[in-house]
Amino acid sequence: MDTLSFRAFSPPFDSSSFVEVLRASGRLPAALSLEVPAIGTLPHATTVLALRYEGGVVMAGDRQASEGYQVASRAISKVLPVDRSSCVAIAGAAGPALEMARLFRVEIEHYEKLEGVMLSTPGKANKLAQMVREALPMAMQGLVVVPLFAAYDPESRRGRIYKYDPAGGRYEEESYHANGSGGLFARNALKMLYREGLSRDEAVEAALRALYEAADEDLGTGGPDFVREIYPTVFTMDADGVREQTQDDVAAYYRAFVVGLRKKE
């Protein structure tokens, strides 16, 4: 029966995947499925990181998008909440990366609504890997998108971190990871600051400190901007859900931190 296949709503379909619905409707963004011509310099998102703490995970990112040696935006958000327990952070070509994050969010929500249960944490991480893999042709042209995925896993009651490579490889990290142009410096800082069993507050401070170090060494990464009052975005995920640190909290940390630095001189 025609009507029971609900042609009036969307193409006949029996899947819980939103991406499949989108593809069938012909509206999947070209940037996520087809080859696109290489385009000179485009805005790139720079440093994002995640680290685990006791019973959760913190995810943070600076606010700058860079276009070559220029600042494309001073206040973009690279850490985006996906659902009640996870966030995705993006590094790489800002446009396609943000689009991927937005699509990923709807994909996860769509599954949850249709099935009545949330996808498992590894399930979400795999889904994101597939989306990165589909963007491979784009990556070959220079528009590399590399997300970082962090979630509180209610099954194992701990935070989990997944990193990706441009070919769709998915790797779980046990302690911390940082991505983007300043990723190396942030990772080095986290290597010093990380230990097992950090508290939530300690983890947030470590994340902010690592972002500061990345901004200090990397041109593309934005540091705390006291003049415009733009500070990194920080989210924590644990049994209490996804929480964003207020900009006031982050500002207070950096003010105190900078005072500490001056005293040393």
CB contact at 8 A, 20 and 32: no
Nearer to other proteins, 8 or 256 (CB): 8
* 154 binds other proteins per the rule CB under 8 A: no
Q: Judged by CB under 8 A, does residue 148 bind other proteins?
A: no
Contact assessment for residue 204 and residue 236, using Cβ atoms and an 8 Å cutoff: yes
Strand ranges (DSSP E) for 38-181? 44-45, 48-53, 56-61, 65-67, 70-73, 79-81, 86-93, 145-153, 158-164, 170-173, 176-179
Select from 71-79, 98-106, 162-170, 215-223 the region that touches other proteins (CB under 8 A): 98-106
Q: Is 102 in the site for other proteins (CB under 8 A)?
A: yes
Give the binding range for other proteins (CB under 8 A) out of 34-42, 106-114, 138-146, 164-172: 106-114
- Could you say whether residue 118 binds other proteins (CB under 8 A)? no
CA distance 37 to 39: 6
Instruction: Point out the residues that are catalytic.
Output: 46
Pick one of 54, 67, 109, 173: the residue that binds other proteins (CB under 8 A).
109
Q: Beta-carbon neighbour count of residue 140 at 10 Å?
A: 13
User: Rule CB under 8 A: which residues touch other proteins?
Assistant: 1, 3-4, 6, 8-10, 13, 18, 21-22, 25, 27, 102-103, 106, 109-110, 113-114, 116
